[in-house]
Amino acid sequence: MDKIPVNDTGIYALARLVDDAQKERRDPSHSDIEFQINKSMLSDGDPNKEGPPVGKAKRVRCVLTWGIENRPESAEYFAAGLISAVKACGGFRESSPNYVGKDEITNLAEALKYLGISLASDGSLVPLALEGLSGKSLTKVLEIYVERAKKGIEDAALVVGTSKDLMEAVAAHVLQELWAHYPTTVNFPTLLGQAFTALGLSTPADKRETGEHPRKNLERKMYDLACAINRLRNKQATGHGRPWLPDLSNDEARASIEFIGTISERMLNELKKKRA
């Protein structure tokens, strides 16, 4: 996401991400923050532009406060850019010397939740509701889920705010983009099969042909694997908590999530080729 909503609570939480006044210095630096300020065209609200310099936290608060009053959209770009800069410096990774702290991340996540944004522990940002998104905007959001799924992050198995499996969401998106509609009452294998067909990918329903490329068999196996993973889903889940059958081990769940990411990524890549 290149911009996120900002309010007074969010401003305070964002400023805490860079507040190193009581600790050893950590990145992002003042120079990094200034880059984001200039990029977002908020230099007029930068207290360090004129007068004695202030600390990072106060600088961020001043810029965002000025921004929401004078250039609200620019403030949203700056907020997202700041989080991206903190993430790039390792601010969301506990082993990093630039780690901002668990409380700081939790506080920001809570502030953003009420603005319709989900902040994951690794710094990823996604909207809580996807209903209003379509086209390339929805593709980009789904790609965020895909990247997190490929890392085995459990909450990436379900689209945030729904009980919809990530592969199901991607399949529906593919059909909406390529066929202008998708069925809402069919089961997962049928939905996925239609998406594979729309993308030109093979499923077990496609007969093997002499001399066909080996990738066709790979595509069939990916379809079978996707359906097998879907059967491991806890169908009573509501989108909150663990989305897997109770007897599935953590290692099995992690492998399943990573496969979800890989299969979903392949589908989105094929979709982008179709659009090109």
pLDDT of the residue at 238: 47
Say whether both 15 and 112 belong to one domain: yes
Say whether both 204 and 110 belong to one domain: no
Last residue of a domain, one of 128, 153, 188: 128
Say whether both 99 and 193 belong to one domain: no
The pLDDT tens digits of the residues spanning 192-242 come to 999 999 999 999 999 999 999 999 999 999 999 999 999 998 776 544 457
Whether 136 maps to a domain, the answer reads: no
Whether 142 maps to a domain, the answer reads: no
pLDDT of the residue at 152: 85
Say whether both 178 and 268 belong to one domain: yes
Whether 134 maps to a domain, the answer reads: no
pLDDT averaged over the chain? 90
Whether 181 maps to a domain, the answer reads: yes
Say whether both 96 and 201 belong to one domain: no
Say whether both 199 and 100 belong to one domain: no
Percent of the chain residues topping a pLDDT of 90: 71
Say whether both 26 and 117 belong to one domain: yes
Q: How many residues does the chain have?
A: 276
Mean pLDDT of 12-16: 96
Does the pLDDT at position 161 exceed 80? no
Mean pLDDT of 255-260: 94
> 42: domain range?
8-128
Does the pLDDT at position 13 exceed 60? yes
Last residue of a domain, one of 128, 157, 174: 128
Last residue of a domain, one of 128, 158, 177: 128
How many structural domains comprise the chain? 2
* Radius of gyration of the chain, Cα coordinates, nearest whole angstrom: 22
Whether 185 maps to a domain, the answer reads: yes
CA dihedral sign of residues 215, 221, 227, 230: negative
Does the pLDDT at position 8 exceed 80? yes
Whether 159 maps to a domain, the answer reads: no
Say whether both 107 and 215 belong to one domain: no
The pLDDT tens digits of the residues spanning 112-122 come to 988 878 899 89
Say whether both 194 and 113 belong to one domain: no
pTM of the model as a whole: 0.72
